[in-house]
C-alpha cells in the first residue's frame, strides 16, 4: 500500500472491534436508498441531494512533454478558455462536489452530455455501468469501496465521460483517491502521458479496481479476528450479529463489484473503432482483477458460512457442558441423598408397648453402622467420578 493510500486499514483492529452500529445485520443503507427515490418525477430531472458540496474544479493537462495542473474552482470560464486554447494537449477535468446546478447545466451543454447521464452522475446509488454515446464517446460509472472504521463497506461513485482529447470525471466529495494516478501523470517518464486520452479513462477505472483489495483485506482481517473470538473463553457479546453483519458487508461488496466486472466485459466487446485493441489488452488485465476480487468475495462468503456453523456448534457445546455439570452433580448427590434419607427414617425399635422390633433398622444400632455407610458412599462417589472420567466428561471434551 502506498503511503498516500486514502484507505488505511481500520485502526480499530485490536480484538474484535465494536462500533456504534455494531450488531446491525440488516442493510439499512439499502432502505435509505429506496426511501430517497422520488416518485413520478420526470426522468432526467437533476436533483442535488441534501448536504452536497459546492463543486471544485481541477484541471490536469498534459502531453508527452508538458504537464500542467491547476484548480479552477469558481472559474469555469477560464477553464473552458484554457481547454479551447490547447487542443493539442490531453485534459483531465476533475469535478468534485455537485452543489451547483447552473454550472452542471452549462457543462452538459459544453461537453454534450445527456440529462439522463447527468442524473446518473448525481444519483448516488447508480450501479457501475458503461454507455456509448455520440457514436464513439464513453460514459462510465464506477463505484469505489472503502471499509470504514465503523465496519461498514462504504462506497463512492466515480463518473467518467470521454471526449476527443479530454476526460471528464465527477466525484461527490473532496477526498480524492486518485492521487496515486496524479503522481504518475506528473512523472516525466510515464507511459500514461504518451497514451491517448482514452487511456486515462482506463487508468481511472484501474485505480478504482485497485481499491477493492484494501477493502477486501480489511474484511478478511476482521473475519480472522471473528474466528479467533468464537473459541475465546469470554466470547464477546452479540458475536453472531457481528458474523452476520460482516456477511452483509461481503454481500454488499459483491453487489458492487459484479456490475463493475460486467462493465469491463462490455468494454471488451466494443468494436475496434471505439476501443482499439491496444487498449483492450489493458482492460483484459482489469477484467482479471475484477474476477479475482469476486473470487475473494466468494471465498469470504464460504468462510463466514463456516464461522456460522462453528458458532452454532460451539453454542451446542456450551449447552452440553452446562448439562454435564448438572448431570454429574445430580448423579453423584441424588443417590447419596437417598441413602442418608434412608437412615433418617424413624422406624421405631420398640412398639407402643415397648416390645423390641428387631427388623426395624438394625443398622442404626450396629456399632460400625455410621462409618460403614460413610465408606459406602465414598466408594460410590469414587466409582462415579471414575465413570465420568472414562466418559471424558471431566476433561472439557
Task: Report DSSP letters for 114-143, one per residue.
Answer: -HHHHHHHH-TTPPPEEEEETTTEEEEEEE
Closer residue to its own copies, CB minimum distance, 72 or 300:
300
Q: Is 182 exposed, middle or buried (0-12, 13-18, 19+ CB in 10 A)?
A: middle
Q: Minimal distance in Å, beta carbon 88 to its own copies?
A: 24
Would you say 101 or 281 has its CB closer to its own copies? 281
Torsion of CA 13, 18, 19, 22, to 10 degrees: 130
Q: Which is nearer to its own copies, 273 or 302 (CB)?
A: 302
Q: Which is nearer to its own copies, 88 or 371 (CB)?
A: 371
Q: How far apart are CA 288 and CA 275, in angstroms?
A: 18
SS (H, E, C) 60-108: EEECCCCEEEEECCCCHHHHHHHHHHCCCCEEEEEEECCCCHHHHHHHH
Grid cell locating 300: 469470504
Minimum distance from residue 256 beta carbon to its own copies (Å): 10
Q: Which of 94, 109, 281, 288 is nearest to 172 (CA)?
A: 94
CB of 40 to its own copies, least distance (A): 2
Least distance (Å) between residue 78 CB and its own copies: 29
Shortest distance, position 197 Cβ to its own copies, whole Å = 17
Q: Kindly tell me which of 55 and 214 has the beta carbon lying closer to its own copies.
A: 214
Nearer to its own copies, 24 or 80 (CB): 24
Q: Which is nearer to its own copies, 55 or 145 (CB)?
A: 145
Q: How far is the CB of 106 from its own copies (least distance, A)?
A: 19
- Residues facing residue 162 across a β-bridge: 167
Q: Report the residue number, 164 or 316, with the smaller CB distance to its own copies.
A: 316
Minimum CB separation from its own copies for residue 20, in Å? 15
**Cell 484548480, residue?**
71
Q: Which residues contact 190 (CB under 8 A, 6 or more apart)?
A: 184
Distance CA 3, CA 316 (A): 46
- C-alpha 74/C-alpha 131 separation (Å) is 30
Q: Residue 194 and residue 68: Cα distance in Å, rounded?
A: 15
Q: C-beta of 163: minimal distance to its own copies in Å?
A: 19
Amino acid at each position: 500500500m502506498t503511503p498516500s493510500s486514502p484507505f488505511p486499514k481500520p485502526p480499530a483492529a485490536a480484538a474484535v472491534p465494536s462500533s456504534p452500529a455494531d450488531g446491525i445485520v440488516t442493510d439499512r443503507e439499502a432502505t435509505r436508498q429506496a426511501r430517497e427515490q422520488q416518485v413520478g418525477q420526470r426522468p432526467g430531472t437533476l436533483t442535488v441531494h441534501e448536504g452536497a458540496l459546492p463543486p471544485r474544479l481541477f484541471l490536469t493537462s498534459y502531453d508527452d512533454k508538458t504537464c500542467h495542473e491547476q484548480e479552477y474552482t469558481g472559474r469555469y470560464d477560464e477553464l473552458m478558455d484554457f481547454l479551447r486554447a490547447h487542443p493539442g494537449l490531453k485534459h483531465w477535468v476533475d469535478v468534485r462536489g455537485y452543489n451547483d446546478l447552473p454550472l452542471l447545466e452549462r457543462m452538459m451543454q459544453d461537453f454534450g452530455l445527456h440529462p439522463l447521464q447527468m442524473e446518473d452522475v448525481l444519483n448516488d446509488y447508480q450501479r457501475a455501468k458503461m454507455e456509448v454515446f455520440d457514436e464513439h464517446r464513453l460514459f462510465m460509472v464506477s463505484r469505489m469501496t472503502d471499509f470504514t472504521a465503523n465496519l461498514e463497506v462504504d462506497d463512492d461513485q466515480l463518473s467518467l465521460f470521454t471526449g476527443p482529447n479530454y476526460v471528464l470525471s465527477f466525484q461527490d466529495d473532496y477526498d480524492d483517491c486518485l492521487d496515486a494516478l496524479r503522481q504518475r501523470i506528473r512523472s516525466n517518464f510515464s507511459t500514461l502521458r504518451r497514451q491517448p486520452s482514452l487511456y486515462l479513462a482506463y487508468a481511472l477505472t484501474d485505480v478504482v479496481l485497485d481499491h477493492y483489495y484494501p477493502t477486501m483485506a480489511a474484511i478478511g482481517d476482521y473475519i480472522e479476528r471473528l474466528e479467533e473470538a468464537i473459541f475465546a473463553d469470554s466470547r464477546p457479546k452479540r458475536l453472531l450479529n457481528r458474523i452476520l453483519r460482516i456477511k452483509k458487508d461481503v454481500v454488499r461488496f459483491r453487489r458492487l463489484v459484479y456490475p463493475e466486472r460486467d462493465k469491463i466485459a462490455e468494454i471488451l466487446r466494443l468494436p475496434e473503432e471505439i476501443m482499439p485493441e491496444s487498449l483492450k489488452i489493458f482492460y483484459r488485465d482489469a477484467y482479471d482483477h475484477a474476477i479475482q476480487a469476486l473470487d475473494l468475495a466468494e471465498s469470504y462468503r464460504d468462510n463466514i458460512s463456516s464461522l456460522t456453523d462453528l458458532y452454532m456448534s460451539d453454542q451446542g457445546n456450551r449447552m452440553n457442558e452446562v448439562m454435564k455439570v448438572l448431570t454429574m452433580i445430580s448423579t453423584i448427590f441424588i443417590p447419596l441423598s437417598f441413602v442418608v434419607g434412608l437412615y433418617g427414617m424413624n422406624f421405631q425399635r420398640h412398639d407402643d408397648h415397648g416390645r423390641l422390633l428387631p427388623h426395624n433398622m438394625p443398622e442404626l444400632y450396629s456399632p460400625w453402622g455410621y462409618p460403614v455407610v460413610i465408606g459406602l458412599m465414598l466408594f460410590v462417589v469414587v466409582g462415579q467420578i471414575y465413570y465420568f472420567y472414562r466418559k471424558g466428561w471431566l476433561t472439557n471434551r
